[in-house]
Structure 1
Amino acid sequence: MVDDASLSSLSPLPTPESFPFPYPKPYDIQLQLMQTVFRAIEDGKIAIVESPTGTGKSLSLLTSTLTWLSSHQARLDTAIETSIREQMAADDPDDPPWVIEHAVKARMNELKAGQEARAERLAKARAKERKIRQRGGSGAFRGGGGGVKRLKMGENGASVDVGTDNEKQDDQFLPEDKEEAEQEGPYLSKEVRDLMSKYEATRPKQHVEEEVEEDVPKIYYTSRTHTQLRQLTSELLKTSFAIGNDPTPSSSTEPNTEAGPSHGVSLVPLGSRKQLCINNKVRAMAKSGGDERLNEICLDMQKSGKARCEFLPAKADESIMLDARDAVLASVKDIEDIVADGRMSCVCPYYATRRAVKQSQIVTLPYNLLLQKNAREALDINLKNQVIVIDEAHNLIDTLLTIHSTAITSTNLANAISQLQQYLRRFRSRLKPVHALWIRQVLTVLQGLVRVCEVFVQDRKTALNGQVKTKSEMLNANELMERVGGGSDQVNPMELVAYLKESKLARKISGFSEHVAEQAAAKEVKTSRSATGRHASIAAFHIVEAFLLSLVDAKDDGRVLISVEDSTTISTPVVAIKYLLLNPAERFKEVVEQARSVVLAGGTMEPISDFLQQLFPAVSKDRFATLSCSHVIPKENLLTQVVCAGPRKVEFEFKHSNRGDDSLLTELGAVIQSTIGLIPDGVVVFSPSYAFLGKAKTFWQGTGLMQRLGDRKQLFFEPQTSGDVETVLRDYALAISSVNVASATGEKSRRKGALLFAVVGGKLSEGINFSDGLGRCVIMVGLPFANVGSVELQERMRYVEKLPGAGPDASREMYENMCMRAVNQSIGRAIRHANDYACILLVDKRYATPRIKNKLPRWIGEDVKVQTDFGGVARGVAAFFKEKRARGLAC
């Protein structure tokens, strides 16, 4: 293995011609971004880069990272030859130079032969794909005529050889011993491996490709959702890096795939079993149990004595899985493509993508699979000396805090105890003594947690209307465990969690509980329990296990919050115990230490002080490279105004204490009514909270303003459920397009476009594209500060104040940054490409203060106009769109 330090540094920076950008000439800011990222990777730095949406950020990131990867691989090949020569000379210094050179040449030929064999495999896989597409057939991964050997399955995918004996049927629910847990692989159990080893020792050797795979240098590219990663795949296909890419003629608007030779970079999109499983029987069995149940069924079907999944080849058929791996690597595909190929070839896409990771040069995956250590271990992801790109990184801190925080309720605990007691009754006589001992210990801990809940409720009961007072208590993990044990130290949490992992007890109890529930349901024609309630009950022990894992990992950077949930009566209070992670740096530390370079990228990364203080407190400043790009749009295409007061001279300052003030709502309504008539197409109004939007809507309906707004533009409101978002957006777009069609045909309409009311941090404030006519104006109402009275927020602010190097203003800075990051995300919805134009109205006088104004994105903050008089606001908006009409851009 060649040490990175032995590779010569690349200097100077690549020029525009050096980057095989897919368009003839990149923008200056695109070149700046590519050079910054390239140099950061080369120097092993942490890059924090901001490039507004619509500036080709994804293409710039792909081009820069893959250009570096290509250069690095070329240097690596040269360094390997030098390293081999030096090693051979050191091993036997008496050998003449010609002997050493001959040996080096032979070794390099071996390595070259391996690379050529890989290229030949992938070429064959691509040729097979082309034939399949041409004939519309199946069998992408399988050889021969595409015939598939099916394994016999019983009813609902259950094993056919279980028999009718209850004890034999229940064996699957017994806890696993440590040795079994250690040796269980993704394919076979220990027993089957032993039998196969004996068989392999006696049978004639056949040629099956055996590889000791090493991780090739690669880019791990992560984003928030699979939708965003799918868009990245589309961007990669525009470049010359994509394997098997067919060049197309270049123009000013079409990708220039002739910018360089095809680099043959392979991509693997990683996902969960939920997204990649193609076994319909398994999916049906797991439908009521959620993702955990799907994982359990999949793993159980890989054990001896079980009906094997028909889509997962046995170890003896390893060549089939290797063909599947090569098919994944052969060309750039998204998850949907891989699933479709898997269905055609009858080979599991989940395990095919896992096998392809080591030989892939770019791996895309959602946040949770990269940021959680147990997820990385499950996928065998090794970050050592690799490059990490985290896109949409503005919410990285919150994501780290969220995915490492867990909660249980007294209801979860009651269900888990019931399941465990039922499990003990069934298996008491069959459990090994060590398992019986540990299961009783687990039961003791759960009962201790229930006692904590009962004591908490008892201490906080009040006679006020028969309600439980919703106070809360904060403590650390050690204090909670002391209460659980009643002051004794009989249970060692570390050993307890280790047992849960080794025995897979949560999986066993969950499976057993579902088995019992299915038997009970089969005896009843109707059941009163909903599928959701049944899922929650079955998943209870998984929730408890996750909570205990968090407590063990708590160190000093976590807290436990105990509270009574709202809307619970004094007779049936529900207590919630939540573990809160306060320090994201500790969980992100391993990623930073292992990776060669980490790139945090986003459209709105400002303010970046939170990243430096909360994510990288121990990293020296000289290891950072930062860049905040301006926008590609002309300055005249953006108008940003601070609206300090309304038409009646009422000043705007939407604090929590006065958000419901009638005079303030009346003035805000007047601003919206006065401006929307000046703006064509769509206007989006972002409110600081759902409560504020609800209050304003009710008030305006009472005053008749809502009717008057509706006369000018068709009204839409952010839906309460996520499933309705697409419908609202579709209808909003149709309302705008129908007005434009009517205008083009000469028809007259009283309405001009549409008005959409949304909420900052809601379903429409991130990841939604309000380009062109969908967002000619964004009106930001107030500053969406979080509830400073929140116990969780107060604890986090106290923690930030104690961080090394934190100034006296650290907690206030964090509080403001949380607010402004949400603001920046919302107002960034409007400008989405180089020819777009929009105006932004910031309705609150606090936006004029330097402290807040300086936290706006640079491309917005440079030309903000502060208007103390509303007349100036109206004149500015009118002039802005008059100029666009004069240029033929607006109607």
Structure 2
Amino acid sequence: MSDADSFLDSFKLSLQPPDDFSFPFTPYEIQKEFMTQLYSALEGSKLGIFESPTGTGKSLSLICGALSWLRDHEERLSVELEGALADIASKKPSAQEQDSKDWLTIQIKQAANDNIAHVLRHKMDKINRDRKRIAEIRSRVKDKIQISKNRENTNIQNTDESDFSEDKPEDCDLILEDVSEDLSKDEEEDEESENKNPPVKIIFCSRTHSQLSQFVGEIQRTVFSNTMRVVPMGSRQSCCINKSVKKLKSLSLMNEKCLDMLKSTDKSTKDDSGKITKKSKGSGSCPHLKNSQSLSEAIISEVMDLEAIVGKGESLSACPYYATRSAIPDSQIIVVPYNTLLHKKTRESSQLEIKNAVIIIDEAHNLLETVSHIHSSEVSGQQITYALSQLIQYRDKFEKRFSSMNLLHLNQLIYVLKSLIKFIDSIDHTKGDGSEPGALLYTVPEFILSAGIDNYNLFKLVDFSLKNKITHKIRGFTEKYQPTVNPRPKNQPQKVSGMKSFLKEVELNSKKHVKNKKVEEKPATPVEVSPAVLEGQPLVPTLAFLSNLTMDYKEGRIVLKRDVTLGKSVVKYLLLDPASVMKDVIQSARSVILAGGTMKPFSEFRDRLFLACGANESRIMEFSCGHVIPKDNIMPVIVSSGPSSQILDFSFQKRNSPNLIAEVGRLLVNVCTIVPAGVVCFFPSYDYESRVYKSLEEEGFLKKILVKKRVFREPKTSSQVDSVLKDYADCAQKKGGGAIMFSVVGGKLSEGLNFSDDLGRCVVVVGMPYPNIMSPELKEKMSFLNKTVGPQAGREYYENCCMKAVNQCIGRAVRHQNDYSTVLLLDHRYKAPNHVQLLPKWIASSLQIQDKFGPVLGLLGKFFRQRRPI
């Protein structure tokens, strides 16, 4: 800490939560308590776990609590600087002191004070300059709205993307370029000039763009929308308005194409004869880039969500992607999706500064699983095979035009893919680790050694591929020359061996035909290539997997699942310890707040994230509030037996019993008879839902249900969700009608969707949705936790997976103060104390346990009679 910072620190003021948080309406008591605790957490640089049930205004509470603190914090900085400067000015020596015998000491002290004052004045001047500049930008944007509209019309007509037509690329654009051996040198050049103490910004993070848009919409409802500068960030996939880039669809290809278009320098390459020539590097500057500054100023002048920014970018012919990034230095709140914050490489490429930031992660109940998923990868034998074929033919087509170093790296990459295919093929699909046939587990070093790729520097190969944008060049090559791996004829017997022969045929065939415009291989291959693989650029997941092999091996495992066919075999990289990649976020940020509707058990985040990242336990803060609804408006019941006294035990061994499934049918008939409007019934899996539905149909129970309610089923495809929900809502809300929705735990309807009021008067959860205990991935995860956290940590994780999924289902209903609903948990195992304590507090406080089904019907009847409109 510098002398100036130390001096300023002595004037530090402590902020106390205000009485008024500028909430858009009179807050409930629990909302005020939430904002007060959040304000204190940010002031104390805490790591917070905040639980607020869905429907309690969590988003507004987060916004008003956090933005009130940020406003006060920024005002405090000015007050502290003014106080420090005034104090230094008062210490200036008098003329008499300057003439004293100790004048040298006084002069030295005065010089030090002058230096401190200079630094403090510089800080104050910067604050004032920034405020003035922002005010000028807002004034300029406001004054030129009409001019901007006229300019929009002009830009729409004149924007020229003719340079970026869909013509096939020239060969010179497909050649690998020479890159420095110090592949990351250019990325480090700007690090020294970075601000060591960046101003505090709030980074708000959630799972989906729709949730982020809702969050921005909530900010627009508050007084903070008039003063705060909000910048939503998105990937090129969400932001790009250039048609030639948008058509690529794959994010990695879009990134490479965009970066390539921004370059304009010349590079040397070789022609087919090996002669050195010049080629233009890149396709030229994107026409939408030049107006991005105008859009950037508009972003910091008005609170807009990403969709509005993209729309404005299209009207201005201005790039939303680079405009949002240009606006970041002037932002106060940055709104980002999970991947942008949680994935280090994405975060760095987005220039998202986390040092000294307040990070708020919403919908954080599955944060650890999300982090693991983001840093895991999966690639099939089919994808590796086709990627290998593409690389071989690409190399042989342009071999004479590559530099020796690029050719070396390309050959090494080809060898690595060959080795992976040979290794996968060598595994007997009937053998495994005992949990699943053909499934084998490896540590990363074991896998690299077993696959025979331990002699290669995978880090260099991956970096070489990224720096050279090799996936982009391979895509251009396949577009122009259309090399293929022909699928096996349907009447040809399936092969599982002869891999050496196959690989040899691939290479010989590519050499034979590489000079032709269209390169084809003989059909003698044990791998079928589907159209989805061809369209999805198989090199992308292949390189992602190789990249994962360069991560810290202690926290990763490889799962190899050998199918009867090589093409359907899969290799997965699993990240077992999410804390290993979250450490820099937890340690660099001023404060990290995890918020959600159901965050229990808190110990999961405290032990496996905060403490595992080296945080001091005194920094960790936990807060949980009740629901805004009256206690009498929710009736949760654990149902241990059905109408015919059959014990409800949906354990894996018993769930398929015909008698048990019939009991579900009888129970649902009774529920649909008593419960008005909409019922949502969750099953543990799609397979089990299908089995139960088919049985209910065959046994006549479905016909009885249809007398009272129309039956809907959760669609497996996302494109059908909206239409099914609309039909369900229309039917459930129809007077005298009703509907029941068969849904799946962890499916498309169990998280993020709203079944308020008549859409969800009863939520039924059939069984306990435990994950498959025989899954090799789960077994390894549990084993890892037992070794690193404690002997029971694996079992606790297993229980938590189940109950967190149940809590998400429960949270679909009761969304506001006047709402009411019932919850039926169908399984006697829910009665166990360890399961009850994992339920949300607002559910557990009203929970009833019924061993017989008769009283359940009585409770349901009474509950809805009391709420029947008069």
Q: Same fold (TM over 0.5)?
A: yes
Q: CA deviation at 1:146?
A: 6.1
1:783 aligns with 2:743: no
Q: Which residue of 2 aligns with 1:561?
A: 559
- 2:756 alignment partner in structure 1: 771
Secondary structure of 2:31's counterpart equals: helix
Partner of residue 498 from structure 1, selected from 458, 463, 476: 463
Structure 1 residue 280: Cα displacement: 1.9
Counterpart in 1 of 2:543? 545
SS at match of 2:353: coil
Partner of 1:121: 137
Q: Report if the CA contact (8 A) 2:382-2:567 is conserved.
A: no
Is the CA contact 2:765–2:826 (under 8 Å) kept in the aligned structure 1?
Answer: yes
Q: What's the % identity of the aligned pairs?
A: 36
1:16 aligns with 2:16: no
Of 610, 613, 623, the match for 2:619:
623
Q: Which of the numbers 695, 702, 706 marks the counterpart of 1:699?
A: 695
1:58 match: 59
Give the 5 Å matches for 1:655-804: 655-737=651-733, 739-740=734-735, 743=736, 752-804=737-789
Deviation at 1:98, TM superposition (A): 10
- Alpha-carbon distance between aligned partners in 1 of 2:760 and 2:9, rounded to the nearest angstrom: 52
Q: Is the 8 A contact 1:125 1:330 kept in 2?
A: yes
1:220 to 2:203 alignment? yes
Q: Output the TM-score relative to the length of structure 2.
A: 0.85
Unaligned runs of 5+ in 2: 93-105, 265-279, 485-513
For the residue of structure 2 that corresponds to 1:16, the secondary structure is coil
Structure 1 residue 178: deviation in Å? 2.2
Q: Which residue of 2 aligns with 1:174?
A: 176
Match of 1:652 among 643, 648, 652: 648
- CA gap of 1:532–1:349, structure 2 versus 1, over 3 A, is farther
1:297 is displaced (CA, Å) by 1.8
Q: Distance in 1 between matches of 2:674 and 2:377?
A: 49
Confirm or deny: 8 A CA contact 2:642 2:853 kept in the other structure. Answer: yes
Aligned to 1:277: 240
- Equivalent AA in structure 2 for residue 551 of structure 1: L
Cα deviation for residue 397 of structure 1 reads: 1.0
5 Å-filtered alignment, 1:423-502, equals: 423-457=394-428, 460=431, 470-485=437-452, 489-502=454-467
The whole-number CA distance in structure 2 between the counterparts of 1:29 and 1:9 is 31
Distance verdict in 2 for CA 1:71–1:369, change over 3 Å: same
Partner Cα separation in structure 2 for residue 52 and residue 397 of structure 1 = 20
- Following superposition, the deviation at residue 698 of structure 1 comes to 1.3
More moved, 173-182 vs 865-874 = 173-182
Mapping of residues 329-348 of structure 1, within 5 Å: 329-348=300-319
Instruction: Indicate which of 593, 596, 601 corresponds to 1:599.
Output: 593
- Among residues 308, 317, 323, which one is paired with 2:284 in the alignment? 308
CA distance in 1, matches of 2:818, 2:800: 30
Letter matched to residue 153 of structure 1: S
Rate the CA distance shift 1:270–1:99 in 2: closer, same or farther, 3 A: closer
Contact 1:677/1:712 (CA < 8 Å) preserved in 2?
yes
Equivalent-residue separation in structure 2 for 1:790 and 1:99 (angstroms):
65
Q: State how far apart, in whole Å, the 1-side matches of 2:609 and 2:112 are.
A: 54
Distance apart, 1:692 and its partner CA:
1.6
Q: Provide, for residues 534-584 of structure 1, a one-character-per-residue CA deviation record: whole Å limited to 9, x for no partner.
A: 66466222222111110110320110011124xx45xx5532111111001
Query: Is the 1:173–1:511 Cα contact (8 Å) retained in structure 2?
Result: no
Instruction: Return 502-511 or 327-336, whichever deviates more.
Output: 502-511
1:156 matched to 2:165:
yes
Q: CA RMSD in A?
A: 3.4
C-alpha deviation, 1:598, in angstroms: 0.5
Q: Using the TM superposition, give the Cα deviation of residue 609 of structure 1 relative to its aligned residue in structure 2, in angstroms.
A: 2.1
2:597 corresponds to which letter in structure 1?
G
Matched position secondary structure for 1:866: strand
Contact 2:261 2:286 survives alignment (8 Å): no
Distance in 1 (CA, whole Å) between partners of 2:534 and 2:413 is 20
Aligned counterpart, 2:476: 511
State the shift of 1:137 in Å.
4.5
* Corresponding residue number in structure 2 for 1:746: none
Which residue is equivalent to 2:97?
A: none
Contact 1:604 1:824 in 2 (8 A): yes
**Using the alignment, how far apart are the partners of 1:99 and 1:404 within structure 2?**
48
State the shift of 1:111 in Å.
4.3
The AA in structure 2 aligned to 1:781 is: V
SS of residue paired to 2:636 = strand
Q: Which residue of 2 aligns with 1:848?
A: 831
Instruction: For 1:139, give the aligned amino acid.
Output: E
Counterpart residue type for residue 606 of structure 2 = L
Paired residue for 2:507? none
2:325 maps to 1:325 = no
**Shift in CA distance, 50/106, structure 1 to aligned 2, threshold 3 Å:** closer
Q: Which amino acid aligns with 1:57?
A: K
Alpha carbons 1:510, 1:538 under 8 Å: kept = no
CA separation in 1, counterparts of 2:330 and 2:161? 34
- Using the TM superposition, give the Cα deviation of residue 516 of structure 1 relative to its aligned residue in structure 2, in angstroms: 2.5
Q: Which amino acid aligns with 1:766?
A: E
SS at match of 1:338: helix
**Counterparts of 1:105 and 1:621, CA distance in 2:** 38
TM, length-normalised to structure 1: 0.83
Assess, with a 3 A threshold, how the Cα gap between structure 1 residues 413 and 620 changes in structure 2: closer, same or farther.
Answer: same
- Displacement of 1:695 in angstroms is 1.3
Q: What do the CA deviations read for 1:837-886 (whole angstroms, capped 9, x no partner)?
A: 00111111112221111110000011101111212101111111111116
Change in 2 beyond 3 A, CA 1:630/1:811: same
Deviation string 1:590-616 (CA, Å, 9 cap, x unpaired) is 110111110000011112222222223
C-alpha change, 1:586 and 1:104, in structure 2 (3 Å) is closer
Following the alignment from structure 2 to structure 1, what is the Cα–Cα distance between the partners of residues 161 and 685? 55
Deviation at 1:149, TM superposition (A): 6.7
Distance in structure 2 (CA, Å) of the matches to 1:221 and 1:781 = 35
Separation in structure 2 between the aligned mates of residue 15 and residue 39 of structure 1, nearest angstrom: 10
Residues paired across the two proteins, number: 791
What residue in structure 1 maps to residue 852 of structure 2? 869
Stretch moving more, 433-442 or 502-511: 502-511
Residue 458 and residue 717 in structure 1: after superposition, are their counterparts in 2 closer, same or farther (change >3 A)?
closer
1:139 counterpart = 2:152? yes
Q: Which moved more, 1:684-693 or 1:93-102?
A: 93-102
Amino acid at match of 2:666: A
Residue 242 of structure 1 aligns to a residue whose secondary structure is helix
Q: Does the 8 Å CA contact 1:224/1:392 hold for their aligned counterparts?
A: yes
Contact 1:390 1:601 in 2 (8 A): yes
1:589 corresponding residue in structure 2: 583
Report the more deviating stretch, 546-555 or 497-506: 497-506
1:242 and 2:243 correspond = no
- Verify the 8 A CA contact 1:175 1:508 in the aligned structure 2: no
SS at match of 2:391: helix
SS in 1 for 2:215: helix
| Contact 2:183–2:464 under 8 Å retained in 1 | no
Change (3 A) 1:579 1:213: closer
- Say if 2:394 and 2:477, in contact at 8 Å, map to a contact too: yes
Give the Cα separation in 1 of the matches to 2:163 and 2:374.
38
In structure 2, what is the equivalent of residue 254 of structure 1?
Answer: none
Q: Structure 1 residue 421 and structure 2 residue 424: aligned?
A: no
- SS at the partner of 2:234? coil
* Preserved CA contact (<8 Å) 2:81 2:120: no
